[in-house]
Structure 1
């Protein structure tokens, strides 16, 4: 009986240890967003998980073949032990999301999230505290479906651009000439033609603006981590 009693405990302990390691393994899969040491003001570039026409049009208009078609970007805001993302989305305008929510909405490849972490180059990181404050001041504002820098609405990369300023008050991220043409065909994307027609405005082709795919390649931003490699 003593032998059987000890054997039962050995089996029980083995099962507990096995479940413990299984929990750790699964925990790592469930929380991939915790596997990187974020810094305040980091920029998270992502590829949207939805197959909506809107997301597809953004990808097709802002990325060349073989490039990662980033369609969204948000700003990391660390508050105590919590990590939030200040972002402008079609679902809620300018909002503050949890890191878990941000990751849940990103696409995957081979089970890994299509998310990259961008960070301002060291000589510009002094601007981050003010940038977080600037971005937070726009919380609750509506999404900019017009892609117009002159209004008080914001799309994702526009929010980032208008949040970061240097010591002279100039925007760190310069605008580019926007294009709503399909990068593969060079022709106006049918989605954008329909989109702006419904808004009763001309397509702002060539007007100043930004997009996540080009922003991720700017010399003032270093990509310090990718979750898909």
Structure 2
């Protein structure tokens, strides 16, 4: 019989460091294309050379950090082309996941969708007008859960993993929209209610249309 290994202290340190670096990449404290030097990062975040290198490998696998040809690391770029590419892939993957989830819908999944949108409505209210980074991160985490809930009914772990990675890669752009006051929360709430209703009514075409509008709006890429 095959057993997994117990999490080590090293694994815990790497997880903590990765969370801190993700946060600072998301808020731009670590700038796009910025070189990430192990020693400087250790002084700023702690950890050993080994744990920091492992952390950067984790973030590279998530698409937030890039390993350079000189065996170093840098923060991934954040150009309009990067955003459009992430958006393209998110829409393709999440459309597939939502379609399959609706085709195989269970009462449990529909209940999870309703709960996710309820939590999202509360988080949206809290974050409006707040300048607190903690509120912004909590809001973004609720957004992530909502997004993944819509595709979890697909019962495809690989699709879920890819959807999660792409959502994380879009975080910088979404938080920039939030901080710049570019999110219309009233329209967002109405769209979420309509999306939830379409899912429960099993109107796949409408649900996919509303989902695409939601993703595009959150990233400032509404079609004109």
Normalised by the length of structure 1, the TM-score is: 0.28
Compare the two structures and name the one with the higher strand fraction.
1
Higher relative contact order (CA 8 A, sep 6+): 1
Compare the two structures and name the one with the higher helix fraction.
2
Normalised by the length of structure 2, the TM-score is: 0.29
Pick the structure with greater CA Rg.
Answer: 1
